[in-house]
Amino acid sequence: MSTPEPYYPEIDFATDAVPNLHEILDDLRSKSPVVPVLYHGSVARMITRFDELKAAMADDETFPSSAAYLRHSGPVMGKTIQCMGGAEHRRNRGLVSAAFRPRLMTEFVEAFLTPVAHELVDEMLEHATGEKPMADLVSDYTVRYAFTVIARLLDFPPTDFEQLKRWGDGLIDFPWNPESAEAASQEFTEYLDPIIAERREHPGEDLISSLATVEVEGERLRDEEIFSFLRLLFPAGADTTYRGLGSMFFAALGHREVWEGVHKEPELIPAVVQESLRWEGPTALLPRFAPKDVTWGGEEIPAGSEVLFAITSANRDSSTFANPDRFDPWRSEREFLTFGHGLHFCLGSHLARREMEVSLRVLSERLPNLELAPDAEVGIQGTVLRGPITLPVQLNQT
C-alpha cells in the first residue's frame, strides 16, 4: 500500500504553530473522516469526524492506547495504565479507581478548591496597582490554581512552585525535548520515593496515601505502578487543567452575555464549563497507533501507521453540533469527546470539571466586571495541547 500525499504538506501538526487550526480542521473534515497529514515528519492518519472518532475511542483492539503510549510517553512516564490492556489494565484501573474514592473527592478535595481560588484572587488584587489594575489570568491564576490543586491533592511537602512547574512541563515534553523530559522524570521520581514510603507507613487523607494503601481482592499497587501513575497524573492534571481554565475564561469573557449570565445566574456555570470543554478542549490531537491493517471511515489505514484522534475537530463536527463554532452554553447537544470515550475515559474528569466550576464561580463573584484587556492580542494556541498562553485582563472592581 503506497503512502498517500498528506493534505497541507507545509504543516507538521506535531511541531508547527497553526493559528487557523479550526479553519484547517473544518476543511479536512469536509474531505473525509480519515485524512493523511504530517505528524513529526511522517504521514499520519487523522480521524476528523465525531462518529468515526467516538467509535475509534471505543475500539481499543484496533487502536490500542498501549501501543501509542509505550512509544510516546513510556520512555519518560513508565508503564502507565494508558500503556496497558486486558487483565493488566483492568487490575491497575480498578486499584487506581478505588484510590479515587468518593470520600477523597467530596471531603478532602472539595475542602480546598474554593479557598485556593480565593487566595489567588486576593493575590491578584494585592499586586494590582494603578487606575486600571491589570492581571494575567494565565500566569496569575490558571497555572497557579491547577498546580496548587494537584499538589494539595497529593499533599506534597512545601515545594518551590517553579520546581513543580518545571517537572510538570518536562514530563509532557517527550518526544519534543527528550533530554528535558527524561531529566524531569528522574528528578520527580526521586522526589516521590520517600513520600510514598512515608505515606505507606503513616497514611493521611491524600491521594498518594490512598494509592499506597489501597487493596482490592488482596491486590495492591507496587511502587513502580504508583510512580508511573503519578508521572502521568501530575502533568496531566496540572497542564491540561490550566489550559482548559484559560480557554474557558477566554470564551466567557469574550462573550459578555455569558460572563454576565454566570454572575446573575450561577446555576449556568456547569453548562458554561461543559460548552468550553467542547468548544476548545485542552487536548486537541491525541496520538494512537494502528498495529494492523484496518479500513476506517471508508479509508485504508495500513499496519504501523500513526493515527491522530482529532478531538478538537470532532467536537466541532456540524453533523453532530448545530453552529459548532459558536460558543453557546445554552445549546441542547451535550455529548463531546474531550475526556475520551470507552476503556480509557479520563479518570480525572470529575476533578477537572470541579476546578473549572469553582474557578468560574469565585471569579465571577469576586470580579463581576472583569474583562479582557482592550486591544490585547490574545487567542488559543497549540495543535496537540491547546490554550491561551497569556490572558491580560482589567480587574475593574467597581
Q: Which of 48, 35, 93, 37 is nearest to 320 (CA)?
A: 48
Whether 391 and 137 have beta carbons less than 8 Å apart is answered as yes
**Residue 2 counted as domain residue:** no
Q: Is residue 1 part of a domain?
A: no
Here the cell at position 1 is 500500500
Query: Do the domain assignments include residue 12?
Result: no
Cell numbers placing 82 = 494508558
State the CATH number of the domain containing residue 155.
1.10.630.10
Tell me, yes or no, whether 4 lies in a domain.
no
Could you give the CA distance from residue 355 to residue 208 in angstroms, rounded to a whole number? 19
- From the number of C-beta atoms within 10 Å of its C-beta (0-12, 13-18, 19+), residue 31 rates as exposed
State residue 106's pLDDT score: 75
Q: Which of 32-41, 48-57, 252-261, 341-350 has the lowest mean pLDDT?
A: 341-350
Structural domain of residue 280, as residue ranges? 21-394
Domain assignment present for 16: no
Domains: count for the chain: 1
- Structural domain includes residue 222: yes
How does residue 44 score in pLDDT terms, banded at 50, 70 and 90?
A: very high
Establish if 249 belongs to a structural domain: yes
Q: Is residue 7 part of a domain?
A: no
- pLDDT band with cut points at 50, 70 and 90 for residue 398: low
How many contiguous H segments (helices) and E segments (strands) does the chain have? 18, 9
| Mean pLDDT in residue range 269-298 | 96
